Copies of this chain bind each other. A is one copy, B any other.
Amino acid sequence: MPTSPSTVRVAILGATAYTSREVIRWLLAHPAVKITALCSRRDPLPTIAETFPEFVGRLDMRCEPLDPAALKDRADVALLCLPNGISMEYTPALLDAGLRVIDFSADYRLKEPADYAQWYNKNHNDLDNLAEAVYGLPELNRDKIRSARIVANPGCYPTAAALGIVPLLRAGLIETDDIIVNAASGISGAGRQPRPEHHYPERNENYEAYNVGRHRHEVEMERVLDACIRMRKSSVLFAPHLIPMERGILATIYLKPLQPISAEHAQEVFAKAYGDEPFVRLREHLPCTAHVARTNFCDLAARVAKSRIVVLSAIDNMVKGAAGQAIQNMNIMFGLEETSGLL
């Protein structure tokens, strides 16, 4: 079936992941997109409705093998909902087949191969494309995203953290090496694979910190911040937590101002930085995860207490933290209205 010139043809790779489910939910209501392939490494290959019964009667497609060459001329862009380390195995062939790539994994987020090797315990094996890839945070890199062949869709925590820190950092108002990001996430962020620690009775009525100072998103935050400052390195202490709910991230960010600052001033900095941004909302009240749930918004507010700026940054980890941001990137890459299908 031919598609109109204005329709972007999308292939989703790793179609049985939660992030894929979220992408499909949004794309089904997107006015200028057609899903033309769902690819999976599973054997046997399921229909998408078998995998996610919410799609019964809404999307009647069976997954096909994950074969980049077979997507040539069938898709304009590949959304890679694949695990870390797997995306880089398929990306070169996808580019060769003429597709542009938006990768949900961490494979193209860290510019330094040494960072990747250290934090992901694996040598990067696609260095050329790594060098070319654009970090897909539209509020920072919109212009580069427009023409990018490969967009590294940001991690969920780094999205919340970076949006809450960058304006103050760029304005030169805060210490770069005394940043604390205390964040908590719903459980969908842990993926679809059942694990003992995410068994319902273990997670229900439970709140806990994990990987304090050792989470891979810490270095991702630092590299995003580093790119916004010259001659210096940022230092972020990141403490993630798990909340008994499905979705949502709230980052509580502790920043040290270089000079005394008022909350109003801090809010103004954000207002100026994000005045025209369609998906960042500066809030008077403290943000919460419920107000951004199932939206692509990042809600922000700043407070000042005990000589610290405390920034609250809320996103839906599955939307602005994954699928929604990917679609925002896709819209930018293909000249669509940036908010298309996302409001």
Interface residues of A (CB under 8 A from B): 18, 28-29, 31, 53-54, 56-58, 180, 182, 184, 186-188, 192-196, 198-210, 212-214, 235-237, 239, 241, 243-248, 250, 252, 254, 281, 283, 285-295, 297, 299, 303-306, 308, 310, 312, 314, 343
23 contacts between A and B (CB under 8 A): A18-B201, A29-B343, A31-B31, A53-B291, A54-B291, A54-B292, A56-B299, A182-B239, A184-B184, A186-B201, A186-B207, A195-B199, A200-B244, A202-B290, A204-B244, A205-B248, A208-B314, A209-B250, A212-B286, A212-B310, A213-B310, A239-B252, A243-B243
Residues of B within 8 A of A184 (CB): 184, 207, 241, 243
Q: What is the bound-complex CA distance between A212 and B31, given in angstroms?
A: 41
Is the CB–CB distance between B241 and A281 below 8 Å? no
Is the CB–CB distance between A310 and B201 below 8 Å? no
Residues of B within 8 A of A201 (CB): 18, 186-188, 192, 198, 246
Is the CB–CB distance between B243 and A213 below 8 Å? no
Contact of A310 with B237 at beta-carbon distance under 8 Å, contacts A57-B297, A252-B182 already known: yes
Residues of B within 8 A of A283 (CB): 53, 56
Residues of B within 8 A of A54 (CB): 290-293, 295
Residues of B within 8 A of A308 (CB): 180, 237
Copies per assembly: 4
Is the CB–CB distance between A213 and B306 below 8 Å? yes
> A102: shortest Cβ distance to chain B, in Å?
23
Closest to A204 in B: B246
Residues of B within 8 A of A53 (CB): 283, 285, 291
Residues of B within 8 A of A245 (CB): 204-207, 244
Other CB < 8 Å A-B pairs besides A188-B201, A207-B245, 11 of them? A56-B281, A57-B297, A194-B195, A199-B200, A204-B244, A205-B248, A209-B250, A213-B304, A213-B305, A236-B306, A237-B306
Is the CB–CB distance between B182 and A200 below 8 Å? no
Closest to A277 in B: B57
Q: What is the bound-complex CA distance between A58 and B296, given in angstroms?
A: 12
> A312: shortest Cβ distance to chain B, in Å?
5
